[in-house]
C-alpha cells in the first residue's frame, strides 16, 4: 500500500509546512507531543529508517551544484517541484525509487537525466533528500491558524517594512485585486509559497555566458547534462553544449524561501488580513 502511505505522509507534512488552511488557533501538537523529536516523528509519518548522516552530507555536495537550482537548496522547491512532498521521495527507503528517477531523469518534463552518478552517489543523494524530509517533519510548525484573525494595519506595515514585500510587489500593481482572485486560505498559500500551485510551469529565466565573455539572457527551453537552449530577447531559439558555456538560472523565489524561515505566525495572520482587503 505504498500509495496510501505516501498520501498520509504528504497530508501530515502538509500540516507541518502549510500552517495555512485550517480554521482555529488551537495547536494540533498532538503529533509533536506523540512524536517528540526524532524516531517518534518518523513512526508517526510512517517513514523508513532514519537517514544516514554521513551519506547525507556527501549527498549534499552532489545536490548543491546539480539539483538545487531547480529543486531549491533544501529541496523545498524552486522553479522545479518540492521534493519533500514528492511520493518518489516519501515512498523510497534506500534509493530504490529516487536512484532510477535521477539516473533516467524525465527529459520531457524538464528533469534532466544524470547517467554518470554511481550507485553510491545516488544513495548519498537519496539520504540527503530523506534528511530534508526529516528536518521539515521535526520543525515544530504543527499549528493551525485561522487565516483571517490578523491585524490589517500591522500587515500593511509589515508589507512596506520588515517583510520587504514592497521591493517586488505593489498593492495597486501586480497584487491589485488579488483578493478577488483567491479565497483567503489560498491567498495565504500564495504568499507563503508561490510555487506551490503552478510553480513548475512558470517560465524560467536563464543567462548563458559564452567562452568569449558575451552573455545571452532568455527563457529556458531545455537543459540536460549536455546541452542548454533558450529563447533570447528577440525570440530566437539558441542552443549550446554545456561544456562551452556558463549557465546561471534566475532564482525568482529565493526571497519567498527566505521569508518562509522568517515569518512568525502573527506576521502571516497580519499579512493575510491586509491582502484580503485588496479586492
Ligand atoms: C533543470 C531542472 C532540474 C534539475 C537540474 C533537476 N531536476 Fe529533478 N525534477 C525537475 C522537474 C521539472 C521534475 C518534475 C518532472 C515531472 O513533472 O514528472 C523533477 C522531478 C524530480 C523527482 C521526482 C519527483 C516526483 O515526485 O515525481 C526527483 C526525486 C528529482 N527530480 C530529484 C532531482 C535530483 C536529486 C536532482 C539533482 C541530481 C534533480 N532532480 C535535478 C527538474 C529538475
Ligand atoms: C525579491 C522579490 C520578492 C519579494 C521580496 C517578495 N516577493 Fe512575492 N513574489 C515574488 C515572485 C517572483 C513571485 C512569483 C510571481 C509569479 O511568477 O507570478 C511572487 C509571488 C507572490 C504572490 C502570489 C501572486 C499571485 O498572483 O499568485 C504573493 C501574494 C506574494 N508574492 C506576496 C508577497 C509578500 C506578502 C511578500 C512580503 C512578505 C513578498 N511577496 C515578497 C517576488 C517577491
Residue 55 grid cell: 551519506
Q: How far apart are CA 28 and CA 41, in angstroms?
A: 14
Q: How far apart are CA 200 and CA 243, in angstroms?
A: 26
Q: How far apart are CA 271 and CA 156, in angstroms?
A: 7
pLDDT score of 4 more than 50: no
CATH fold of the domain at 2-137: Cytochrome Bc1 Complex; Chain D, domain 2 (1.10.760)
User: How many Å lie between the centroid of ligand 2 and the Cα of residue 165?
Assistant: 7
* CA distance between the termini of the chain: 45
- 2-137 and 205-249: identical CATH topology: no
- pLDDT band at 153; cut points 50, 70, 90: very high
Look over the chain and give the mean of its residue pLDDT values, rounded to a whole number.
76
Residue 228 near ligand 2, beta carbon < 6 Å: no
Q: Are 84 and 13 in contact (CB under 8 A)?
A: yes
Ligand nearest to the CA of 125: 1
Q: What is the mean pLDDT of residues 131-145?
A: 56
Given this structure, which CATH class describes domain 205-249?
mainly beta
Every domain of the chain and the residues it spans? 2-137, 152-199+254-275, 205-249
Q: Are 46 and 10 in contact (CB under 8 A)?
A: no
Reported as type and span, the H/E element at residue 237 is strand 237-241
pLDDT score of 143 more than 80: no
The pTM is what?
0.46
Q: How far apart are CA 35 and CA 19, in angstroms?
A: 18
Ligand nearest to the CA of 129: 1
User: How many Å lie between the centroid of ligand 2 and the Cα of residue 89?
Assistant: 28
Amino acid at each position: 500500500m505504498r500509495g496510501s502511505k505516501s498520501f498520509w505522509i504528504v497530508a501530515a507534512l502538509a500540516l507541518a509546512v502549510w500552517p495555512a488552511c485550517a480554521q482555529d488557533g488551537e495547536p494540533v501538537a498532538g503529533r509533536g507531543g506523540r512524536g517528540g523529536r526524532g524516531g517518534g516523528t518518523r513512526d508517526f509519518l510512517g517513514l523508513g529508517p532514519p537517514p544516514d548522516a554521513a551519506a547525507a552530507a556527501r549527498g549534499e555536495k552532489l545536490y548543491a551544484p546539480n539539483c538545487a537550482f531547480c529543486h531549491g537548496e533544501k529541496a523545498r522547491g524552486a522553479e522545479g517541484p518540492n521534493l519533500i512532498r514528492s511520493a518518489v521521495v516519501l515512498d523510497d527507503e534506500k534509493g530504490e525509487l529516487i536512484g532510477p528517477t535521477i539516473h533516467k531523469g524525465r527529459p520531457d518534463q524538464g528533469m534532466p537525466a544524470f547517467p554518470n552518478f554511481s550507485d553510491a552517489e545516488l544513495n548519498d543523494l537519496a539520504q540527503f533528500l530523506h534528511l530534508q524530509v526529516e528536518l521539515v517533519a521535526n520543525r515544530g510548525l504543527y499549528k493551525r491558524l485561522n487565516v483571517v484573525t490578523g491585524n490589517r494595519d500591522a500587515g500593511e506595515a509589515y508589507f512596506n517594512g520588515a517583510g520587504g514585500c514592497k521591493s517586488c510587489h505593489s498593492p495597486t500593481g501586480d497584487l491589485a485585486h488579488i483578493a478577488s482572485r483567491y479565497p483567503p486560505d489560498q491567498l495565504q498559500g500564495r504568499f507563503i509559497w508561490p510555487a506551490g500551485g503552478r510553480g513548475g510551469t512558470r517560465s524560467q529565466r536563464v543567462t548563458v555566458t559564452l567562452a568569449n565573455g558575451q552573455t545571452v539572457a532568455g527563457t529556458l527551453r531545455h537543459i540536460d547534462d549536455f546541452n542548454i537552449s533558450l529563447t533570447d530577447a528577440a525570440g530566437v531559439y539558441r542552443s549550446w553544449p554545456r561544456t562551452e558555456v556558463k549557465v546561471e538560472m534566475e532564482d525568482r523565489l529565493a526571497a519567498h524561501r527566505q521569508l518562509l524561515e522568517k515569518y512568525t505566525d502573527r506576521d502571516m495572520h497580519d499579512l493575510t488580513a491586509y491582502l484580503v482587503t485588496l479586492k
